[in-house]
Amino acid sequence: MERRGPQRHQDLEDVIDVITASYDGDDEINILDSADLPNKRAVIAAFNHIMPVLYMGFYSTRALNRTNLRYALSEHLYPAQDILVEQICRAIRYHERMGRIKDQKPEGWSEDVVLRLFKKIPELRRALNTDVLAAYEGDPAASSIEEVVFSYPSLQAISAYRVAHELFLDGVPMIPRIITEHAHSKSGIDINPAARIGESFFIDHGTGVVIGATAIIGNHVKLYQGVTLGALSVSKEDIDGARGRKRHPTIEDDVTIYAGASIHGGDTIIGKGSVIGGNVWLTKSVPPGSKIFGRAK
């Protein structure tokens, strides 16, 4: 029979006591200073204000023209600025307190970072335009540019990456990864914000694509679903040393990598104009113009 009233209340209180006790000790996940950490939902809210700025005509709920465009942009940039400044301040303060940042940031640093990001938006829009065109021109199934922007999960992931990458380059901790992992959860595409990716980048279908932190990708590169640009496994003893090394491959211009291919290692270079077939496993470089099919090493 279902228990009700005081007994149920006491049972729950007992469970809360047990969970509370689990926070005692030195386990790394026992942090309680949530007020000092960035708020994940707030960071995502800020990014959701930036996306319309990148593609205003696709996100607006009213007709736009050059007369009201500036006002429409300000509706998103002002709240994005307020949120990002606060969240970057939290991230910096926390990392400083944990001893992860050697040089203390000057007063107003977070405001300067956000302003620099916003100043780069015209260039980000130009680069994203090349990505949109690469998707439209590279996929016969795309019926229009509008369909690409509205529907392609790869464009959502690439847009998040390009914004997060600028914050990463400016030395912002945690926030860039929150942005790209939010896009990962929505698209199934995992792009580390530290990766370096050129223009006209297209991921077809996209689910399961992984691009590691030290990967370098040139211009006009096309990946299909399930492609991994990964690192070779290292021993537990070598983890700290590996953090500062190039661990992921370099993909030169005009390369196509088909579904399920896995390319690993910081010394691995896929030469310009190469084609890597589906399900290929590569841990060594190939010269420009290569066509690799079957199982390679």
- Which amino acid, one-letter code, is at 51? M
The answer to whether the CB of 56 falls within 8 A of the CB of 7 is no
SS3 content of the chain, % helix, strand, coil (to 5): 45, 10, 40
pLDDT of residue 94: 87
Domain with CATH 1.10.3130.10 in the chain: 34-188
pLDDT of residue 103: 82
Alpha-carbon distances of 116 from 25, 41, 119, 221, rounded to whole Å:
42, 23, 5, 28
CA distance 97 to 247: 29
CATH homologous superfamily of 34-188 equals serine acetyltransferase, domain 1 (1.10.3130.10)
pLDDT tens for each residue of 172-230: 999 999 999 999 999 999 999 999 999 999 999 999 999 999 999 999 999 999 999 99
CA distance 109 to 118: 14
Length of the chain: 297
CATH classification (class only), 195-234+242-297: mainly beta
pLDDT of residue 96: 85
For all residues of the chain together, what is the average pLDDT?
92
pLDDT of residue 297: 56
Of the ranges 29-33, 94-98, 222-226, which is most confident?
A: 222-226
Residue 14 tokens, joined: 């007992």
pLDDT tens for each residue of 148-174: 999 999 999 999 999 999 999 999 999
pLDDT tens for each residue of 239-289: 565 667 899 999 999 999 999 999 999 999 999 999 999 999 999 999 999
**Residues sharing a CB contact under 8 Å with residue 204, sequence separation 6 or more, in sequence order:** 135, 138, 139, 154, 222, 223, 224, 225
Alpha helix positions (H), 37-152: 40-54, 56-59, 69-97, 109-119, 121-138, 145-151
pLDDT of residue 296: 56
Domain with CATH 2.160.10.10 in the chain: 195-234+242-297
pTM above 0.85, yes or no: yes
pLDDT of residue 193: 98
Residue 191 DSSP SS3: strand
Residue 228 DSSP SS3: strand
- Within 10 angstroms of residue 284's Cβ, the number of other Cβ atoms is 12
